[in-house]
Amino acid sequence: AMVAVQATEDEVRPYLTDDTDIAAVNGPESVVVSGAEDAVLEIAEVFTRQGRKTSRLTVSHAFHSPLMDPVLADFARVVGGLRFETPRTPVVSNLTGELIDTYTPDYWVRHVREAVRFADGVRTLGELGVTTFVETGPGGVLSAMAQGCLDGAVTVPSTRSGSPEPEAITGAVARLHVLGVPVDWAAFFAGRGARRAELPTYAFQHQRYWLRTTAPTAAAATTDAVEAGFWETVEREDAQSLAATLDLPAEQLDAVLPRLSAWRRRRRQESAVESWSYRTSWKPLSGLRTHELPGDWLFLTTQEPTGTDDATAAEDRPAATAWTSAVADGLAARGARLIRVTADPAADRDALLRQLTDAVRDVPVDGVISLLGTDESPHAAHPDLSVGTALTLALVQALGDAGIAAPLWALTRSAMSTGRADPVPSAAQHAVWGLGRVAALEHARRWGGLIDLPDTIDDRAIERLAAVLTQSAEDQVAIRARGAFGRRLTQATAHRDTGTTHGWSPRGTVLITGGTGALGGHVARWLAGAGAEHLVLTSR
């Protein structure tokens, strides 16, 4: 038997027996118990008595339970004769809840026996920047489950029970388009003679005529009105009206009503502030196509330091050299003609200008690829900066001095974190990303972008690097073994810190950019009062 239980995995595990197990984790409080019928029903009864929802599933076998053990050996022999290919599209496994690189016979044997970790998989996708989910199954069951696993998730089922499939899939594609998901309309309307038409304009009427959101239902509007009236009574601290609403003596509210009113006003203010908060996330990139990389490309690296007593640096040099060579050889194999420039770690703007002029000699280049940012050693003249950051700044200036307008791509190595699978990011190289975003604003016409490469360079990494270098849509990309990811700005989920008045308590040193204006002064005063020990206010 298999029974769905409204409980957490930790709550269910103490009740499991030798012939039962958790078959699926479908949400924060949604698990499926599977195994011997009597034992499973006894576990379900425990939670039914607690007022939890339970539902027996209509199944032929107790999947993902100890009752599957007798078939595992035979199943292993069958799948052992199959050949498994490496996925070309990133796949999040429902066995581990993590991204996987390849399949094995043992993987599928474990999948028969172990729990389906759907909730973990959805959370992993959320951490990778996925916000929209399309269900391609026969209904919308998984869409509802995914919404329960991830706050703010938008789910779109492609088919619905009782609806004709052509209408359902067309509605799903239309909804994705409205949500901002790219749709290949040429492929969708292939052979139907469709053409694109512009929306009518309203040249001199500065009003919105197109609906932005769906109007609330009557039930929702009624609920909102009732709730709004309740909280309005609370904020007025109208004990008599609230007592009548709750059917309580008014004197029982005397102690709690002022606190509840203050909490309500504070939460309304904090909610408004939280709606202004955004964060960066990483979204898997689709549509990158494999390209050759023809043309002449400036390829800049730094000289290996000599005469250092730093044992760690000495150990890292061979690995760094091999990594740099792997990038260069891979791009050359893709057709790029690399014009190599090796910069001295102490080089300044003028020295780089001379090197660039000698290297190019009036030959137009198609692009500039800089690995200067990967040098994390302290700069001799500016110890607080890495060599990579200082040289990248000098390179941006020197390229302008030399009149080289080809796009500059600054490459780093494990400088960014796209998820739990990545190593701890490099703080020194992270500074190159901050510098690069400024260069993108101030020198947009000759800026290509920022690309973070993995520690291991293989054919797939080079293939993705070449694809990014030959497109113009993405300028902040992280390439990993599991795919390429683009940096996105998304609205931040409010962080609840029940131990403090605000979601964040400032400590140590706080930097305020644009801090010398009136608004910066208000922010600085609030930070000082909230616990910040040092304030740094900067502006242009």
Tokens for 240, please give them.
Answer: 């008599």
Q: Return d(Cα 239, Cα 282) in angstroms, integer.
A: 49
What are the distances in angstroms from CA 236 to CA 244, 252, 272?
15, 17, 20
Architecture in CATH of 2-130? 3-Layer(aba) Sandwich (3.40)
| CA 80 to the chain's CA centroid | 36
Q: Which region among 20-24, 317-321, 392-396 has the lowest average model confidence (pLDDT)? A: 317-321
Asked which of 26-30, 141-145, 355-359 is least confident by mean pLDDT, the reply is: 141-145
Token match 């607690």: residue?
Answer: 50
Q: What b/e readout covers 114-129, taking b as 16+ CB neighbours within 10 angstroms?
A: bbbbbbbbbbbbbebb
Under the banding of pLDDT at 50, 70 and 90, the label for residue 257 is: confident
Instruction: Answer for the pair 452, 475: CB distance below 8 angstroms, yes or no.
Output: no
Contact between residue 470 and residue 411 where contact means Cβ atoms under 8 Å apart: no
Helix %, strand %, coil % for the chain, to 5? Answer: 40, 20, 40
Instruction: Give tens-digit pLDDT for 352-399.
Output: 999 999 999 878 899 999 999 999 999 988 888 999 999 999 999 999
- Which two three-digit tokens encode residue 416? 């960014």
Going from the C-alpha of 302 to that of each of 317, 350, 375, 388, the distances in angstroms are 11, 16, 7, 9
At 143 the pLDDT is 87
**CA geometry: angle 25, 27, 33, nearest 5 deg:** 35
54 pairs with which residues across the strands? Answer: 5
Instruction: Look at residue 442 in the predicted model and tell me its pLDDT.
Output: 93
The highest-confidence range among 14-23, 150-159, 217-226, 318-327, by mean pLDDT, is 14-23
Contacts of 372 (CB under 8 A, 6+ apart): 300, 301, 302, 343, 387, 388, 391, 392, 395, 410
Q: Where are the domains of the chain?
A: 2-130, 218-276, 296-491, 509-538
Which tens digits make up the pLDDT trace of 476-509? 999 999 899 999 988 776 554 444 444 678 888 9
Distance CA 109, CA 86 (A): 18
Q: Is the CB of residue 498 less than 8 Å from the CB of residue 491? A: no
Query: Amino acid letter at 490?
Result: T
Considering Cα of 411, then 412, then 418, then 420, what sign does the dihedral take? Answer: positive
Choosing among 3.40.50.1110, 3.90.1150.30, 3.40.50.11460, 1.10.287.130, the CATH entry for 296-491 is: 3.40.50.11460
Q: Which residues pair with 487 in a beta bridge?
A: 282
